Amino acid sequence: MSSFKGNPRARAMAVVACLGLFPACSGSDAKDPAGGSGVLSQSPHCPAGTSALRLEGTVDGATVDDSRSSNLNVGLTNFGSSSFDSPFSDAVPLQPSQLEIHLKWASSVAYGQTAPTTGGSLVAPAGATQAGRTLCITEGAIGFVDGGSEDGVFKFKVSGARAGADCAGEAVTVALRGCFEGGN
């Protein structure tokens, strides 16, 4: 196991709801070397202590550039059957330029560690061949940064998807990376 800060996070804001519990004895042993091409060293950048959600890349031929600093509407649970959801609730609907995404992973992940996604979905953005349709996430990874200007920031990548929420459709090309920081 890598070093662990041991500082549990629990955040609730008017439109952002986040729950993060980081047990020292859980998570994947998969490391993301500093400066490597893994999920933790990726761009985009979400500085620690700020409120930010950023998603960049492509989904089904459409460019995604979704950068939010208010009305994030994100839910993050890093305990047991863990998940990341945007939107988290129907309180504030997403804008047309914002991507709906839901990620799942098997168990808690400590700072500095990564884990593969075990499921999830996203809605293909405008401009995509599958625009407006739900895509099943088949490949991806998540992690939490340990140290530096992004200490504790949640990062993720999605590199595989299939058409349909049940993963029964054709493969869809996805190269999506993101970060989330709920602020203090």
pLDDT tens readout for residues 44-66: 999 999 999 999 999 998 999 99
- Locate 54 and state its tokens: 């950023």
**pLDDT at residue 184, as a whole number:** 62
Which residues, 6+ apart, have CB-to-CB distance to 148 below 8 Å? none
**pLDDT at residue 150, as a whole number:** 93
Q: How confident is the model at residue 27 (pLDDT cuts 50, 70, 90)?
A: very low
Task: Answer with the residue of higher pLDDT: 156 or 37.
Answer: 156
Q: What is the 3-state secondary structure (H, E, C) of 141-184?
A: EEEECCCHHHCCCEEEEEEEEEEECCCCCCEECEEEEEEEEECC
130 in helix, strand or coil? coil
Chain segment 77-105, per-residue pLDDT in tens: 999 889 999 999 887 788 878 899 999 99
Quick check: 25 pLDDT over 90? no
- Locate 96 and state its tokens: 């047309």
Quick check: 28 pLDDT over 50? no
Specify whether the CB–CB gap between 158 and 142 falls below 8 A: no
The pTM (predicted TM-score) of the whole model is 0.79
